[in-house]
Amino acid sequence: MEALSLPAALALVAGGGAGLSPELRAALGASLPLVQRDYRFERVWFWGCIQGVRGAYYIAEGLGPDRAAPRSRLYSLNCLDWSLLTPATEEMLALAEQVKGRFQGDPSFEYSLAEINAEAAARMAQSGKEPVIKEEARLIATIEQIDRAVGIVPRGAFVKTPLGSVHENRHFEGLPLVEAKKLSSYFHFTEPSNLKNKTLLEKADLDPSTDFLDSLEHDIPKGSWSIQLEKGGTVVVLRSLLWLGLTFYHVPMTKQFGYVYFGTGEKNLDLPFML
């Protein structure tokens, strides 16, 4: 969610128990503008918090002119001092997916790869690398997994130019309440996969400038989103049941929307059996 509107945005998602103490909010209010200035980001989003056993990771994302371009991610242990994270690799994602259990809250903590994946450990040992995966690498991969799976935006909030870059839609004034209550009105803000499988007849009804992302209505398993009206019916809130802790909000007929994650960084693998 947008760093500048953080206090108001956190109040809108507080119904799920997500929130920050006044001290942490004040620290973010002071440090995030400095992060934007020092790293020369066009925008800074507060992504959320992954709670570990001994501490928490607070995550921010820096964006450039093209909103669909890979984002720079930073983490902090105190909301004041920020460290830039390296981009996630496919190997990192594959290994991190196999690590089970809670985060420790220590970026230098090492998980033994021999206990997780013996083949991967053997390959790393042969190449002269130590067969371990650091918690920092797991953190990078988990943020990427969550963004790909449940990072969402309302339909029409972003437009794709003929050159392929994605920008905020200046004409977006929010979804009408009737549309805001439908899953089909929200898109995954990541590289589309289902869009390529649509027939030419289905694509004929789409606007290429706004319908260039995958809709939530086709998410698997079906029923992995909870959609509710809160604050007297003035705010639409979506919660992911696959990544518990991810909350998205949108105030219909306004430009206010965003998502934040407050959780343990663990995927709800039991979801198919719960539906």
Q: What is the pTM of this model?
A: 0.87
Residues 6+ apart with CB under 8 A from 79: 20, 24, 27, 28, 31, 58
Angle, CA 237 vertex, CA 234 and CA 243 arms, to 5°: 170
Dump pLDDT digits (tens) for 72-126.
999 999 999 999 999 988 888 888 888 888 999 999 888 887 776 667 667 766 7
In angstroms, the CA 204 to CA 138 distance is 41
Query: Which residue ranges of the chain lie beneath pLDDT 70?
Result: 3, 15-18, 116-118, 120-121, 124-125, 128, 194-208, 275
In angstroms, the CA 245 to CA 184 distance is 21
In total, the chain counts a number of residues equal to 275
In angstroms, the CA 3 to CA 102 distance is 27
Angle, CA 164 vertex, CA 163 and CA 168 arms, to 5°: 105
